[in-house]
Amino acid sequence: MRSRRAPGQGRLLLAAGMMILGGFLPWVYTYAGPVSGAVGGGLWVFYAGLIALAGGMVPAARLRTVIIAQSVVCGVVALGLTLWQVVHALSLVGLQGWMPGPGLVLSGFGGVLCLLAARQLSQVRPVQA
């Protein structure tokens, strides 16, 4: 018998894909050229995306609290690193000379989706068998 995914696990899988892809795309475009996310924080977002991918694939009936914890940790990592990157760039040069890249945007939205998936998974009540 095939187990069904809990509501929120599909969102977690989408978030994992966004974070995995966003970790290697350019995070910041400057006049000197693009800055890849894989050089710094993007690598950590990639690792968090792999953990989120695992959370989206395990059966939710038995490991619901583990999946919720994974989603929260991955969302905080992805969202925290992208917000830090934006604040850091703003503090260095202000709004002049840089533009956010697709990796930064994908990583940030992947973090938001992870947190939304954790909220959705926490509101699901298990079915008594």
The 10s digit of each residue's pLDDT in 20-35 is 999 999 999 988 889 8
Q: Which pTM was predicted?
A: 0.88
Q: Give the residue ranges of DSSP H helices in 1-129.
A: 9-22, 41-57, 64-93, 102-123
Sheet strands side by side (includes 26-30): 33-36, 26-30, 98-100
pLDDT tens digits for 27-61? 999 888 898 888 888 999 999 999 999 999 988 77
